[in-house]
Amino acid sequence: CAMRNMKPAISMEIAELAVDFRQQGVVGFDLAGEEGGYPPKKHVDAFHFIQRENFNITIHAGEAFGKESIWQAIQWCGAHRIGHATRLIEDMKIKDGAVQSMGTLAQFVLDKRIPLEICLTSNVHTGAVKDLGDHPFGILYRYKFRVMLNTDDRLMSKITLSDEFKLAADTFHLKIDDLEKLTINAMKSAFIPYKKRIALIYDVIKPGFTKARAKL
């Protein structure tokens, strides 16, 4: 993971290290940290290197800075996944909880099935949203964006992924089918080989939720 406030030469070194250690378990290259004043395109050379090496890219974007950060992450840096994307909601016209229309960025993210790593608790703690009820997750999920739940920072937020699932279920009235969908979304978007993703979905996730339904 490179930090936004790093010099581009340092982020390039980290990108090269990530690729060098792909056979030892490194699965992708990430950019995180304060968005304001540190746009993703500042590190565009590192991301272009990663792209040329057929490696994976995820970028924290649109947590608090705005939809422009998400646009840069995708169009300048080739992000395969977006961390947070809280401000993607700014590219939608919403009335009474329903999406009336989408801008070109939101429509592109939806159509291209770009995964969005949603971090409910962390977004409240950082002030990206005022409270859970205001979080755009509910709208993004209802309108079929490829969303998944993440902790972001287990140490600072003192949470587990199980906590996030329960929080999402309680706040957005999710049922077990919804939790299964979120889990499958995450596995579809995992930075592991296709065959392993399929095997985990059909051999682990689906049987696990079938057992859970039987207990309910």
By annotation, the residues acting in catalysis are 63
Q: Which two tokens stand for residue 179?
A: 């939790």
3-class DSSP state of 169: helix
- The H or E element spanning position 123 is helix 120-125
Helix intervals (H) in 126-174: 137-142, 154-157, 161-172
Q: Which two tokens stand for residue 168?
A: 């999402």
Let me know: does 116 contact 148? Beta carbons within 8 Å: yes
